Amino acid sequence: MSAISRAFVYEQKDSWLYRLNPYTKIAAGLILIVASLAFFSFEKALSLFVLMLTLSASAKKLRNNAGSLVPSAPFATIIFIAEFLLGRSVLTGFAYALRFVNLVFSSSIMFTSVSPDEIDYMARKVLRWRDFSFLISTTYKFIPVLASDISQIIEVQKARGVDFDTKNIFKLLKNYYTILVPLFVVSIVRSQQLAEALELRGYGASEKPTFIYEYPLRTSDLIFMILILSLIVYIGMFA
């Protein structure tokens, strides 16, 4: 799996962030995303970026989240050039580009810190609609599986002589079309296997299913939320 794919895929690590309540992690992630959209000045955007770098490094996930900077770099460059062509200052262009990077980075931090099981737990607790909750959690679980399938199909097609390194954009699009059919077939087969596994395990037999794990709120969750909110308010008011 590429570094870009790992940037948005959950991987369990032994750190304080993964031991927090899932509601706390989702709330903190949403706060970072809102702050990424709200901070317009270069100083505030840079301060938020440093905060997220520190958070990611202390949680032992900087290497994973750094992969999110790879796909955001070209778009950030386009944003900077567009702002410059519109007559904005260089500092303003950097601010808007960094704002986009912060948005991608904060999303990566949130997605890689919440497990699919925690997503399923929260969805069932909040929505109380088991089938829709299962759909959300299953979709989240199959993101890395789909990324792995795409990588394998590309390698197989390369072995068969398909050129994915050509600079001809039309030929490149045509070659990438060869990925769609086998990916569609693999997805259909995988969905049939999932349906059979659910039927064998008695999915839907109980009207009120129970949970193996519960996620209670702890003092560490409260401390973390106070710290994050305090730092965001400080950056917004004084940076």
Are 69 and 16 within one domain?
A: yes
Residue 122 lies in a domain: no
Are 102 and 38 within one domain?
A: yes
Are 40 and 72 within one domain?
A: yes
| Domain limits for position 109 | 3-114+215-238
239 neighbors 47 (Cβ within 8 angstroms)? yes
Are 168 and 225 within one domain?
A: no
Beta carbons within 8 Å of 204's beta carbon, 6+ residues apart: 130
- If you search the block for the tokens 């706060």, which residue do you land on? 31
48 neighbors 235 (Cβ within 8 angstroms)? yes
Are 109 and 132 within one domain?
A: no
Residue 120 lies in a domain: no
Number of domains observed in the structure of the chain = 2
List the pLDDT tens digit at each of the 239 positions of the chain. Answer: 555 555 556 677 778 888 888 889 989 999 999 999 998 888 999 999 999 999 888 888 777 777 667 777 888 888 888 887 887 788 888 888 999 999 988 888 887 888 877 877 787 777 667 777 777 778 777 777 887 888 888 888 888 888 877 777 778 778 878 888 888 888 888 888 888 888 887 777 776 767 777 788 889 999 999 999 999 999 988 76
Residue 182 lies in a domain: yes
Residue 117 CA to residue 213 CA, distance in Å, equals 9
- Answering whether pTM is above 0.85, one says no
81 neighbors 61 (Cβ within 8 angstroms)? no
What pLDDT score was predicted for residue 3? 52
What pLDDT score was predicted for residue 15? 83
Residue type at 133 in one-letter notation? S
What pLDDT score was predicted for residue 203? 76
Residue 118 CA to residue 158 CA, distance in Å, equals 38
Residue 208 lies in a domain: no
Residue 128 CA to residue 111 CA, distance in Å, equals 22
Are 27 and 105 within one domain?
A: yes
Are 109 and 221 within one domain?
A: yes
Residue 87 CA to residue 224 CA, distance in Å, equals 41
What pLDDT score was predicted for residue 9? 66
Are 97 and 10 within one domain?
A: yes
Residue 184 CA to residue 222 CA, distance in Å, equals 45
Residue 92 CA to residue 119 CA, distance in Å, equals 37
Are 91 and 138 within one domain?
A: no
Are 21 and 106 within one domain?
A: yes
Are 23 and 107 within one domain?
A: yes
Are 38 and 102 within one domain?
A: yes
